[in-house]
Every structure is written in C-alpha cells, then in structure tokens.
Amino acid sequence: MAHDVKYHVHLSQEMLEDARVAILPGDPGRVEKTAQFLDPDARFLASNREFTSWLATLDGRKVLVCSTGIGGPSVSICVEELAALGVTCFIRIGTTGAIQADIDLPCVIVTTGAVRLDGASTHYAPIEYPAVADLELTNALVAAVKELGLNHRVGITAACDTFYPGQERYDTFSGYVPRRFQGSLDEWQHLKVLNYEMESATLFVIASVFGLKAAMVASAIVSRARAETPDDAVLVEAELNLARVVKRALQIHIAQPS
C-alpha cells in the first residue's frame, strides 16, 4: 500500500520482512556487493535518490542493507524512516581518513564515540549530549576485527559536515580553510582522535535519543598524516574488509542471547 511506503527510502514494513538490523554504507554502489557478501540470494528492494536497499538473510535473520548517502542530513532521514519501520539496530560501514601518524593502511577503525562536527545531530539533542556507539554492537565489531586478524584501531572519530574545509584540506578550489578549522587536524591528533568521516555523530546521537542501537566501522582510504587525497587503489580491499567485519560481527551479535 502506497501510504505505508516511507517517503525517501521507498520501503514499507512488509518489504522489510521484520528486519530489525540495518547495515548502512554511505555509497549506494556498495549496497548490492555487501548484501550478496552476507547472502548470495540477497535481493534488491528499492532505490530512490541516495537510498538503495537490498534484503539479505544471515543465520536465519533478515538484514537490511541500505545506503545513507553522504553526511548527517541524509543519515537522519534514513534512520528516521527505518526506525519507523521497526529497525532497532544500525551498523554503519564507511570509508575514512586516518589522522594519527602511526596508523598504517590498510586499517579498520571501530568508533566508540564521535566528535560532533556535524549540524544534523544538533537538531536532535544539544551539543553537550554525547555521540556514543552502542557497547554490545561495538564489542561485536571489535571481536570480529580481531578474529579476522585485521590491522585495526578502536576509539574516537571526528564526524564532520564537510570533506574539505572541515577536515582541513587545502588542495581545494579556494585553497582557504576558515580560521575555525585552521590547525584543527593537529589539534584532533593531539586529542588522540583516530580519523575523520562524515556520518557517525548524527547516527549515534539519533540512535541514542530514540533508544536504539548504533555502531560504526570504517576502512581508512587515506592517511592524513601523509596525504590529503584518498587512494582508490586501496578501495577494493577496504570494501572487502568492511563486508567481512560486518558479517562476522552480525553473526556474533545474532548468536548472543537478547
């Protein structure tokens, strides 16, 4: 029934078949590959704007894979609509820029909490409210990464509305970074922040405010201690690592008594 279909994601409760877990890549192009890695019989559900979704079955449970697009505003739409359809557990898989000099690529980073450099999360809770990941889901991600023997780090991520000035990139059209962000990369390094990405703060705050669970794992595609521009050569391995980690983490999570 048309009125049961959510406006942006183009999904209904019926289409989700009681899926309670959603894997959220940013890139619509990563959805099919991720879903089929979980389940070769996964099937396409819908595609509208940045929101592409497939449904997989893993260890007897339905798992939705739905892209969020880039940045907090589209994450907020995705989480709002999926939560209304009964999804309670969100795992973002993304790419990221590592900022600590001792992080060598390839590296998988599990985020425990996010610096709120976004705007969308402030529409849900004041800036003093923490952007923290769900502990059990995060533990499952960490266990999966360790089991797979991947180079990894666990800690704090700076989640930023812009890829360029907010992440202090100078190789840009204007070459200018506003004063607010000049020196910020150095400061986050001193404050032991591991990496930059663009969605985790919004996801964590909304999930916490709604009483839902969210976690985040990312593959580093650039070391900001060495370069500004991501390296496409590492993308294939980065994507495969994310699929392996999220699959194993979900198996661990599903096997736990609820």
Q: Which stretches of the chain bind ligand URA, using CB under 6 A? A: 95-97, 163, 167, 196-198, 221-222, 230
- Using DSSP bridges, classify how beta strands 152-160 and 195-197 pair: parallel, antiparallel or unpaired: parallel
CA angle 106, 109, 112 (to 5 degrees): 175
Q: What's the distance, CA 186 to chain centroid?
A: 24
Give me the catalytic one of 30, 116, 152, 224: 224
Instruction: Pick the closer one to ligand URA by CB: 52 or 167.
Output: 167
Q: Is 169 designated active site? A: yes
The contacts of residue 227 (CB under 8 Å, 6+ apart) are: none
List the end-to-end C-alpha distance of the chain, in Å, as a whole number: 32
Q: And the tokens for 1? A: 């029934």
Q: Is 81 designated active site? A: yes
Report the distance separating Cα 153 and Cα 113, nearest Å. 13
User: Which residue's C-beta sits nearest to ligand URA?
Assistant: 97
Instruction: Pick the closer one to ligand URA by CB: 39 or 161.
Output: 161
Instruction: Pick the closer one to ligand URA by CB: 81 or 197.
Output: 197
Least distance (Å) from ligand URA to the CB of residue 179?
21
Instruction: Pick the closer one to ligand URA by CB: 50 or 81.
Output: 50
Least distance (Å) from ligand URA to the CB of residue 198?
4
Give me the catalytic one of 30, 169, 248, 253: 169
Q: Is 187 designated active site? A: no
Q: Is the dihedral of CA 247, 131, 19, 65 positive or negative?
A: negative
Least distance (Å) from ligand URA to the CB of residue 219?
9
Catalytic positions: 8, 81, 169, 224
